[in-house]
Amino acid sequence: MRSITAGVVVALTGVGAACALSGKRGAAERQPDASAFVDAAAGAGDAQAIYDPYPPGILPSDLDAEIGRVLREIDSIERQAIAEWHALTPPTVAGNPPIAQGTGAASIELLGKLMNYDKSMSPRRNQACASCHMPYVAFSGPIPSVNLTMVAYSGTSYFRAGKRTAQRYTYSPFFPVLHYDEDQKAFIGGNFFDSRATGYLLRNPDSEQALHPPVDPEEMGFPDIACVAYRLSHAEYRSLFEQVWGEGSFDIEFPTDTESICATPGGAAIFGGSATPIPLGPGDRTRATVVFDRWGQSLDAFEQSAAVSSFSSKFDAFLAGKARLSADEAAGLKLFDGKANCNSCHLDGRGTTLKTGQTDTSTKAGVQPLFTCFGSANLGLPLNPRVAFYYEDKPDSVGQIGNPLGFAYRDLGLGTFLRNGLGAGPSPSADWTQYAQATDGQMQTTTARNVAMTPPQCPTTEAPGPYFQKEFFHNGYIKSLKQLVHFYNTRDVYKYDVTSGHCPPGTTEKVDCWPKPEVPNNMDMTMGNLGLTDNEEDQLVAFLQTLTDGFTRPYVDAGTFTGQCMSGGSAKTQGNELLIPTPPLPPCAPGVCGVAPVPSPAIP
Amino acid sequence: MSKMWIVALTVALTIGGVRIIEGPEIERVDPDFAIVRWTSTNPGGSPVHQGVVHYGTDSEKLIQTAQSPVRLNPNHPSTVFRVRLNGLRPRTTYYYRVDSRDAAGKDDGLKSQLQHFTTR
């Protein structure tokens, strides 16, 4: 295994700390705590060849050490969850229909938790869901240097990565099944930025979502969904699965070579494009599929549980009349509902915009607001040339090419999904395809809840900190909440006809220069010139920080981060030292922009 | 909570349609690009509305159309519409009128004066 060499200094200290992007190649020592990584990679019996089509500086220098760190954190949470399970009184099945009385709910939530932190749910036993979704950042990406550089997280095939940020999944179970609303003439619901986890079959997008990563070659990467049933049948917590979902769940006759098939990442040339390389008879195939669906439903139970979606923020306490907002937070809320108009998309269940001297007398929202309308919009983000996916145009060790289009790929979000397009997969409804042009560039409105959650020892996302480096929006272009609000406020004020890394001399990218959008179609104009002052932007940030769970009661596993905080610099330019010039962009590839109904107007 | 909403509704009923409160005006103009902006009473209806600008270099023939989506805020009495005009010619005078539509394409019934601007 080679050492990771691109030099990115992770622990920034002092203002303007230099992040050497060059001259460090070959110099970085592999750190001792990378051993977890080596063990994990060796788990499958063969040391894997590292996939590295990346130019220097794309991968962070501490990547293998950080993956090792996260895997250790995952193992320790899994051990505790096993102990919790042993301490749980088994439920008594009673009634008709039979209900697991007493601890039935706790059992399925715990089962989901055990699955979330189980790294054997990947061919090389080196990746769990939690690898990209850790509790101390509200189940989003746990590696600061990845958030700062390559944006997407490596899957089971190190270091093959996807194209988007690892989304927070708090509150994802509350999204409705994707549907086209005839009155709104808009798509509502689904999971993922492009809503492609529709929930059409399980009737729950979040359960369906959990069926994607296990067989996504850029994520956990099994070649066959039956591998999930196979590995679960060997899991330490198998009996809990059987208790929740029924004895006999695993009565499946797996062929003797199942383990070796499952140890080979999906997409490998030897499978010849088959999605079912494990030869199972129809009955066994169906049983394996049922187990796979149960996997999704169990993970959904965990994600909906109070351990994940806990409605325990300061704002929740404020709604309940149990906490007062500070002057800045209250001013931020007023802006959110009023001048900044954020709640036209991030519905907060509050009353109208207030004039000076008025107080909010609206009755307490009947349900806790989710800070999303479940719909989608194109905010006009610039293409982020750091996203690892753009560089994955060469085959990996098993012969798969992640992104044959290189920089000719464009992320059209919902539009591509409706066309059954590249990177989104099949859509279950041909009726939807007609709306593709109207949704090009749209991404789902993320809940604003927990956007500011960080580990306790790095109490903020904002420089100078000490802070935890997160990444924001689907392509991680934005690196602090100050920048996020400033983007909404000034996108059209500081619009320049350049790509990222090419702002004119005398301007500073993200401060007084916003590069052009990756997808100009359907750009939302609710935002872009809000007329907020610098202080008002800060007040909005203060308000967003009240949406972090763990205020009214501790957030489960929030204290499990064992990495380092960063410090220094300014939130306005956080991460700017790592901006790279976007290469001259080839036109959008026919594989994306040539699929009918083709985007209109044409996307450059 | 519904107070403002009722106010907006009453206004709409008395005037008999959606009314422009401010603008239209040019928010920004470049050699090849402009943003037209206006504020109207909140038209209500589908959450997403399209601001529409009919424009052209001949004041008699506004043969081009640009439209941009905004999301209504049901709690706001008024709505700001902003529309992007791409691909304009430098140092050229354009005439325009505006209107807005709901998501199904139904006209909000705005009356707007003929305006003009010149690109840089």
Domain range B3-118, its CATH number among 2.60.40.10, 3.40.30.10, 2.40.50.70, 2.50.20.10: 2.60.40.10
Q: Which among B46, B47, B84 is the nearest to A523, CB-wise?
A: B84
- Selected residue of A495, A526, A527 to mutate for chain B interface (largest B Cβ count, 10 A): A526
Across the interface, of B4, B28, B71, the residue whose CB is closest to A344 is B71
The set of residues, in sequence order, having a beta carbon less than 8 Å from that of A19 and lying 6+ positions away, is A7, A8, A9, A12, A577, A578
Task: Compute CA A518 distance to the chain's CA centroid, rounded to the nearest angstrom.
Answer: 20
Q: Please tell me if residue B9 touches chain A, with a CB cutoff of 8 Å.
A: no
Residue-level pLDDT at A599: 98
pLDDT reading at A15 higher than 50: no
> Does B52 contact chain A (CB < 8 Å)?
no
In one-letter notation, the amino acid at residue A274 is S
Q: Residue A474 — pLDDT band, cuts 50, 70, 90?
A: very high
pLDDT at B45: 95
pLDDT at residue number A211: 98
* Interface-testing mutation among B65, B75, B83, with chain A (most A C-beta atoms within 10 A): B75
User: From the list A353, A522, A528, which residue is nearest B76 (CB)?
Assistant: A353
Give percent helix, percent strand, percent coil of chain B, each to the nearest 5.
10, 50, 40
Percentage above 70 pLDDT, chain A: 89
**Quick one: tokens of A92?**
């008594």
Q: Least CB-CB distance to B48: which of A186, A353, A523? A: A186
Tokens matching residue A596: 């009918």
pLDDT 10s digits, A512-524: 999 999 999 999 9
Tokens 């230099």 locate to A18
d(CA A419, CA A599): 11
φ, ψ (nearest 5 deg) of residue A509:
-60, 140
DSSP secondary structure of A288-332: HHHHHHHHHHHHHHHHHSTTTS---SHHHHHHTTS----HHHHHH
CA separation (Å) from B42 to A296, A320, A557, B5, B111? 42, 31, 45, 9, 15
Distance CA A422, CA A411 (A): 9
Q: For residue A560, is pLDDT > 90?
A: yes
What are the chain B neighbours of A351 within 8 Å (beta carbons)? 1, 75
Whether residue A95 is predicted with pLDDT greater than 60 in this model: the reply is yes
Residue B5 touches partner A, C-beta closer than 8 Å: yes
**pLDDT confidence of A47, banded at 50, 70, 90?**
low
With a cut of 60, say whether residue A274 has pLDDT above it: yes
Amino acid found at A315: F
Q: In this complex, do A183 and B48 lie within 8 Å of one another by their Cβ atoms? A: no
- In residues, how long is chain A? 604
Q: Which residue has the higher pLDDT, A2 or B118?
A: B118
Residues 88-107 of chain B with CB under 8 A from chain A are 103-104
- List Cβ neighbours of A207 (8 Å cut-off, separation of 6 or more): A199, A293, A296, A297, A299, A300
Of A363, A523, A529, the CB nearest to B27: A529
Q: Summarize the confidence of residues A490-506 as an average pLDDT.
A: 98
Q: B86: nearest CA in chain A?
A: A520
Q: Which of A188, A191, A233, A232 is nearest to A212 (CA)?
A: A191
User: Does B120 score more than 90 pLDDT?
Assistant: yes
Domains observed in chain A = 6-132+210-304 (no CATH), 324-604 (1.10.760.10)
| Average pLDDT of the segment spanning A220-242 | 98
What pLDDT was estimated at residue A538?
Answer: 98
Distance from first CA to last CA of chain B, Å, rounded?
A: 45
Mean pLDDT of chain A: 91
| Closest C-alpha to A447, from A526, A502, A535, A374 | A374
Q: How far apart are the first and last CA of chain A?
A: 40
> Tell me, what's the pLDDT at A5?
33
Q: Would the CB atoms of B86 and A520 count as touching at under 8 Å? A: yes
Tell whether B7 lies on the interface with A, counting CB pairs under 8 A.
Answer: no
Which residue in A489, A493, A496, A525 has the most chain B C-beta atoms within 10 A of its own C-beta, making it the best mutation to test that interface? A525
pLDDT at residue A268, as a whole number: 87
* β-sheet bridge partners, residue A377: A443
Partner A contacted by B70 (CB < 8 A): yes
The nearest CA of chain A is from the CA of B113 a distance in Å of: 22
Q: Which residue of B has its CA nearest to A524?
A: B69
Is B68–A525 a contact, with Cβ atoms under 8 angstroms apart? yes
For range A458-478, the mean pLDDT: 98
Of all residues in chain A, the one with the smallest CA distance to B69 is A524
Partner-chain residue, chosen from A343, A363, A522, that has the shortest CB–CB distance to B73: A343
Residue among B30, B46, B48, B101 with most chain A CBs within 10 A, to mutate: B48
In this prediction, residue A489 carries a pLDDT of 98
Q: Using the beta-carbon criterion (under 8 Å), do A186 and B47 form an inter-chain contact?
A: yes
**What are the residue boundaries of the structural domains of chain B, listed by start?**
3-118
pLDDT-derived band at A49, boundaries 50, 70, 90: confident
Among A19-33, A412-426, A484-498, A504-518, the least confident range:
A19-33
C-alpha dihedral sign at A147, A149, A151, A153: negative
- Which of A183, A373, A492 faces B35 most closely, judged by CB atoms? A492
Cβ-based burial of B57 (10 A; exposed 0-12, middle 13-18, buried ≥19)? middle
Asked whether residue A99 carries a pLDDT value surpassing 80, the answer given is yes
Residue whose structure tokens are 């009353």? A351
A366 CB-near residues (< 8 Å, 6+ apart): A349
Per the CB < 8 Å rule, is A183 touching B46? yes
A571-592 pLDDT, tens digit each: 999 999 999 999 999 999 999 9
Q: Give the residue from chain A lying closest to B47, CA to CA.
A: A184
- When pLDDT is cut at 50, 70 and 90, the band that residue A367 belongs to is low
Q: Is the pLDDT of residue A26 over 60?
A: no
Q: Which residues of A touch B71 (CB under 8 A)?
A: 344-345, 373, 377, 524, 526
Give pLDDT, residue A3. Answer: 37
Which pLDDT belongs to residue A397?
84
- CA of A350, closest CA in chain B: separation in Å? 8
Tell me what pLDDT residue A351 has. 54
Please give the interface size between A and B, counted as residue pairs whose CB atoms are below 8 Å apart.
Answer: 82
- CA A339, CA A190: separation in Å to the nearest integer? 29
Distance (Å, whole) CA A328 – CA A196: 38
Q: What are the tens digits of pLDDT across the range A204-218?
A: 999 999 999 999 999
Q: Which of A144-148, A349-353, A536-540, B108-112 has the lowest mean pLDDT?
A: A349-353
